[in-house]
A and B are shown apart, each in its own frame.
Chain A
Amino acid sequence: MMHAYLIQSINLFASVLLLLSFAMLSQRRILTVIHLFTLQGATLVAATVVVAYVTNQHHLYYSAAITLVTKVIVIPILLHRLIDRLNVKWDVETLINIPTTMLIGILLVVFAFNLALPIAKLSSSIAHSTLGIALACVLLSFMMMITRAKAVPQVIGFLSMENGLFFAATSATYGMPMVVEFGIAFDVLVGVFILGVFMFQIREQFDSLDIRHLEKLKED
């Protein structure tokens, strides 16, 4: 009985993840996007812990711990400090207007579910039905990177894409080998650092974080 509830809760967490992805896609304020990202990380941790408990896979606890430290604590703090120092809490610009983005997002979700169907059938994991959601999260985050004109939301899109990947790995195969996970966690941290430095550089050069300024770097 307990077991069935737990499996249900995994599906619940998965749908929360998807909802959060949509929320991030539609949100204009950077501060809120960061909050949503933190929330997404927390949901991911919770989902991983549940999967670990249900399947008795101990290494998933470690994965959950790493995710908690990096994506729920360290990176959000870094991002908060970043936007404080850059003084960009408000973001109004998207390249495509929000309703259109949402519609494209729905199409992507349908596509992702369709794509995951045969893979999910093959998988014997208890969370196999959530694979489509994980793929949809990846695609939606990618979409977010494309539609945002400012650098900070793009970074968040990148990080959230990594969340989706992680969830896909958990749901399809009970997570990746530990080495790979460590590597990815480290990569994400380094990526944030580099992008942070990069953003400061952009602002120093152009007095704005609008990445459209980078178009001027193109050689004619």
Chain B
Amino acid sequence: MLASLLHLDWLLLLCGAWLVVGALGIFALRRFRFVSHVLFPLGGLVCLGVFLVALSAIFESPETAVLPLGLPGLPFHLRLDALSALFIAVIGSVGAGVSIFAAGYFRKGEGTPPGLLCFQYHLFLTSMVLVVLADDAYAFMVMWETMALSSFFLVTSNHRIAAIRRAGYLYLLIAHIGAIAILLCFGVLQANTGDYTFDNMRGQQLSSFWSSAAFLLAVFGFGAKAGILPLHIWLPEAHPAAPSPVSALMSGVMLKTAIYGLLRVSFDLLQMQLWWWGVILLALGLVTALFGVIFSAVQTDMKRLLAYSSIENIGLLCVGMGLGVLFKAYHMDALAALALTACLYHVASHAFFKSLLFLGTGSVLHATGERNLGRLGGLMRYMPWVAWVTLVGVLASSGLPPFGGFVSEWLLLQSFLFTPGLPDPFLNMLIPVVAAAVALVAALAGFAMVKFFGVIFLGQPREAKLAQAHDAGWLERAGLLWLVAGCLVLGLFPVQIIEPIGRVTALLIGHNLADTVRANGWFLLAPMSVERASYAPLVFLVVGAASFYLAVIMVRLLYRGQLRRAAPWDCGYPAGNARMQDTAEGFGQPIRRMFDPFFRMDIKHPTPFDEKPVYSVSVDDHFWHWIYLPIAATTEAVAKLVGRLQQGRISVYLLYSFVTLIAMLVLVRL
């Protein structure tokens, strides 16, 4: 009986298990220990099951099912193919780590009761899996909205703080504007047949105008969820507001469902790709990445910094996707597969390292109660576990080997190197510029990450209370280690990871990169040919480790007995104190100067005569002032105009109905 179940059935059962776990949370609303030590680990176990089922489903042929849920005559169609299975595998694997961490993370008395939080959390996971499984627009939208709502409640779990409510509102607003665009996109895709199943949409032959309309609507709608410029503004507000495991899930996994939607629409549902779509995605992605990384370099709040870094990574994903569309439009399938592989690889690696980093900030936040980088520092001594684990995330995020981030960014740059093969000379000239900009983004990301790690964990503590910081508990450590393992596996076994990704590109483009990669043996990654470029992670690791230890031994031998212990970063100045260290603002200063036009800065310098000199700088987003504030002002003005109707006088209201009645009667008479 059990053996005869399809992968899809297993996934649905596991989703049911999540809902049961969540419902149990509702019944144990305030029994904190039960929720944290039983329900969350159980949820984590289910995540693991989801991961394993989805991983094996990638290699199987697509499975479909019809759930008799929903409105009469509108059942939920579900479909599990390689693309959805890959994203579910990412959700499951990252979710497992986050759930285990969450078991140790949530504390008593923080906003929403733990049981309710548990329910929202598992509902969030379920809806993400079902969004990816959905095979008709109706199921997709229902799940998409469930996902938005459950994450909204998770973001506002500390709803007593006004700023958090504001952040949640902004998030919900933009999510809904995006949802409208997605709905319209599906409306275009069904081509007036009235049948909203994806199967029907695949069969439609749309004209290039309507295809483009659907594509642009999808970019707008999914871009609102992913945080593509200029719809990114909710991200840096919502991520710091949410509890850390939630920000980890949102940034690591939920943003990826938007990428999934964009891939699904542009490669699966639409039957043609135009070259300029790729250019649009490239341009948007590039601007987003550049903007995100520059802003992340000047942040002083650690979670905001990570949120902007998420925007940057979404930009990189878009760049990869844009290249894929471009190559596909010119029928260069092998290269399109390479670009998409880079994109999907980055989906996985970003999911792991970004959730790892967010969880790390969660531990720091709990240990110190501080999110402001200006009040942290020197935590490596007090929280060695978290520090080392975060170091892995930081290295992966900067795109350094031997971690996952390197492989994906390397693949992305590799696919740029093949663009000279494009038949359009104009593109051939422009795309090297894009490649250079992507390299710049990668470098700046490294800068931001050095700042992140250095200011939090290195140097001297900037506050006295930091000496009392405690390291993460064992459940938190387990969750963090799981994610570290993910980063390492993604970095060390790229050839094996490309196997499942190849299945996806085979589905979307008809070309499997794994075939070429496999030929070079299991340890050498050469996306096109060994002569062009190759990467052997294990060799790199061995050589790197060997030279590191060699250096350590040499230092030990040469300087035996001459070691001198001193406070770090004191520049040889013995009276240095924590206030003399480089600060987060100071570290970001060069970037702020160099990329001045990107910011809307408000700097207040003290005059020489000030008794108590105060220096302050606030960095603002241009888009607020260019787009959002004018829209808000217009809306308010229109609302005021309409508000004049509301006089508060019953006679006037009656008069309205009377006049309407008379007008209607006149109309009838005519």
B648 at the interface (CB under 8 A from A): yes
B655 at the interface (CB under 8 A from A): yes
CB of B646 to closest CB in A, whole Å: 6
A216 at the interface (CB under 8 A from B): yes
From known contacts A142-B654, A145-B654, A146-B654, infer whether A218 and B647 are also in contact, taking CB-CB under 8 Å: yes
CB of A143 to closest CB in B, whole Å: 7
Among B117-125, B413-421, B658-666, the stretch that binds chain A is B658-666
- Contact of A142 with B658 in the complex, beta carbons under 8 Å: yes
Range class of the A interface residue count: 20 to 34
CA distance A215 to B646 in the complex (A): 10
Q: Which of A131-187 contact B (CB under 8 A)?
A: 139, 142-143, 145-149, 154
B607 at the interface (CB under 8 A from A): no
Which residues from B are CB-within-8-Å of A145? 651, 654
**Mask of A194-220 contacts with B, CB within 8 angstroms, 1/0:** 000000000000000001101111100
**Mask of B637-670 contacts with A, CB within 8 angstroms, 1/0:** 0000000001111110011011001100100110
- Contact of B662 with A111 in the complex, beta carbons under 8 Å: yes
Which residues from B are CB-within-8-Å of A212? 649
- Contact of A146 with B655 in the complex, beta carbons under 8 Å: yes
CA distance A118 to B668 in the complex (A): 11
CA distance A111 to B665 in the complex (A): 9
Tell me if A's interface is mostly helix, strand, loop or mixed.
helix
Partner of B648, one of A118, A146, A214: A214
- Contact of A115 with B665 in the complex, beta carbons under 8 Å: yes
From known contacts A114-B669, A115-B665, A115-B669, infer whether A146 and B658 are also in contact, taking CB-CB under 8 Å: yes
- Contact of A143 with B646 in the complex, beta carbons under 8 Å: no
- Contact of A142 with B661 in the complex, beta carbons under 8 Å: yes
Partner of B651, one of A95, A111, A139, A218: A95
Q: Which of A37-76 contact B (CB under 8 A)?
A: none
CA distance A194 to B213 in the complex (A): 54
- Contact of B651 with A147 in the complex, beta carbons under 8 Å: yes
Which residues from B are CB-within-8-Å of A154? 650
Which residues from A are CB-within-8-Å of B655? 146
Partner of A215, one of B648, B654, B668: B648
Partner of A146, one of B651, B668, B669: B651
CA distance A145 to B653 in the complex (A): 11
- Considering the complex, give the chain A residue whose CB is closest to the CB of B668: A115
Which residues from B are CB-within-8-Å of A215? 647-649
CB of A116 to closest CB in B, whole Å: 10
CB of A154 to closest CB in B, whole Å: 7
CB of A19 to closest CB in B, whole Å: 22
CA distance A142 to B657 in the complex (A): 9
**Mask of A97-127 contacts with B, CB within 8 angstroms, 1/0:** 0000000000000010011001000000000
- Considering the complex, give the chain A residue whose CB is closest to the CB of B652: A146
Which residues from A are CB-within-8-Å of B648? 214-218
Number of interface residues of B (CB under 8 A): 15
Which residues from B are CB-within-8-Å of A111? 662, 665
CA distance A148 to B649 in the complex (A): 11
CA distance A84 to B52 in the complex (A): 79
Which residues from B are CB-within-8-Å of A149? 651
Which residues from A are CB-within-8-Å of B649? 211-212, 214-215
CB of A176 to closest CB in B, whole Å: 20
CA distance A121 to B650 in the complex (A): 37
CA distance A145 to B657 in the complex (A): 11
- Considering the complex, give the chain B residue whose CB is closest to the CB of A147: B651
CB of A142 to closest CB in B, whole Å: 5
Which residues from B are CB-within-8-Å of A95? 651
- Considering the complex, give the chain B residue whose CB is closest to the CB of A218: B648
CB of B31 to closest CB in A, whole Å: 42
- Contact of B650 with A143 in the complex, beta carbons under 8 Å: no
CA distance A147 to B650 in the complex (A): 10
Interface centre among B647, B648, B658 (most CB of A within 10 A): B648
Which residues from A are CB-within-8-Å of B646? 218
CB of B13 to closest CB in A, whole Å: 50
CA distance A218 to B655 in the complex (A): 18
CA distance A85 to B281 in the complex (A): 74
CA distance A217 to B654 in the complex (A): 17
CA distance A147 to B651 in the complex (A): 7
- Considering the complex, give the chain A residue whose CB is closest to the CB of B651: A146
CB of B49 to closest CB in A, whole Å: 52
CB of A147 to closest CB in B, whole Å: 7
CA distance A216 to B668 in the complex (A): 38
- Considering the complex, give the chain A residue whose CB is closest to the CB of B648: A218
CA distance A145 to B654 in the complex (A): 7
CA distance A146 to B659 in the complex (A): 11
From known contacts A114-B669, A115-B669, infer whether A214 and B661 are also in contact, taking CB-CB under 8 Å: no
- Considering the complex, give the chain B residue whose CB is closest to the CB of A145: B654
CA distance A114 to B658 in the complex (A): 18
- Considering the complex, give the chain B residue whose CB is closest to the CB of A96: B651
Interface centre among B654, B657, B669 (most CB of A within 10 A): B654
CB of A210 to closest CB in B, whole Å: 11
Which residues from B are CB-within-8-Å of A143? 658
CA distance A49 to B665 in the complex (A): 30
Which residues from A are CB-within-8-Å of B654? 142, 145-146
CB of A216 to closest CB in B, whole Å: 7
CA distance A146 to B657 in the complex (A): 10
CA distance A23 to B650 in the complex (A): 23
CA distance A112 to B646 in the complex (A): 29
- Contact of A214 with B650 in the complex, beta carbons under 8 Å: yes
CB of B583 to closest CB in A, whole Å: 46
CB of B223 to closest CB in A, whole Å: 36
CA distance A185 to B15 in the complex (A): 53
- Considering the complex, give the chain A residue whose CB is closest to the CB of B653: A146
Which residues from B are CB-within-8-Å of A142? 654, 657-658, 661
- Considering the complex, give the chain A residue whose CB is closest to the CB of B654: A146
Which residues from A are CB-within-8-Å of B661? 142
CA distance A144 to B649 in the complex (A): 15
CB of A211 to closest CB in B, whole Å: 5
Which residues from A are CB-within-8-Å of B662? 111, 139
CB of B341 to closest CB in A, whole Å: 57
CA distance A111 to B658 in the complex (A): 14
CA distance A142 to B669 in the complex (A): 20
Given contacts A118-B669, A139-B662, 13 further A-B contacts (CB under 8 A): A111-B665, A115-B668, A142-B654, A142-B658, A142-B661, A145-B654, A146-B654, A211-B650, A214-B648, A215-B647, A215-B649, A217-B648, A218-B648
Offer 22 A-B interface pairs, CB within 8 angstroms, sorted by A: A95-B651, A115-B665, A115-B668, A118-B669, A139-B662, A142-B654, A142-B657, A142-B658, A145-B651, A146-B651, A146-B654, A147-B651, A148-B651, A149-B651, A211-B651, A214-B649, A214-B650, A215-B649, A216-B648, A217-B648, A218-B646, A218-B647
Q: 7 closest pairs, A vs B, by CB? A: A218-B648, A215-B648, A146-B654, A211-B650, A146-B651, A145-B654, A146-B655
